[in-house]
Amino acid sequence: MTLKEFIKNHIDIINKKGIKNPLYFLAKIISEINNIPISKIIIDDNYELDHSTLDKLKKIILEDYPLEYITNKVIFYGYEFYVDNNVLIPRIETEDLINIAKDIIIKNNYKYIIDIGTGSGVIAIVLKKLFPDTIIYSIDISKEALKVAEKNAKKHNVDIIFIHSNIFENVPKDVIDKVEFIVSNPPYVESDFYINSTSLKYEPKIALEAGIDGQNFFRDLMKYKNILLKKHMLFETTEFNIDKTVEILSNFGKTIIHNDSFGVRRFVEKEGKK
Distances, alpha carbon 190 to alpha carbons 86, 147, 204, in Å: 20, 27, 14
Amino acid present at 70: I
Alpha-carbon span 256 to 64, nearest angstrom: 36
- pLDDT of 274 reads 64
- pLDDT of 198 reads 76
Residues of the chain below pLDDT 50: none
- Quick one: fold of 85-270? Rossmann fold (3.40.50)
- pLDDT of 185 reads 97
- pLDDT of 200 reads 86
Other CB atoms within 10 Å distance of the CB of residue 13: 11
pLDDT tens readout for residues 258-268: 999 999 999 99
Other CB atoms within 10 Å distance of the CB of residue 45: 8
- pLDDT of 186 reads 96
- pLDDT of 113 reads 98
- pLDDT of 273 reads 75
Distances, alpha carbon 197 to alpha carbons 2, 40, 68, 69, in Å: 32, 35, 18, 18
Alpha-carbon span 94 to 77, nearest angstrom: 9
Alpha-carbon span 17 to 177, nearest angstrom: 50
Domain boundaries, the chain: 3-63, 85-270
The sign of the torsion formed by the CA atoms of 208, 140, 177, 93 equals negative
**Exposure letters 49-79 (e unless 16+ CB within 10 A, then b):** beeebeebbebbbeeebbbbbbbeebebbee
Look at residues 93, 101, 91 and name the one whose alpha carbon lies nearest to residue 126.
101
Coil/strand/helix, residue 257: strand
What residues pair up with 115 in beta bridges, in sequence order? 138, 183
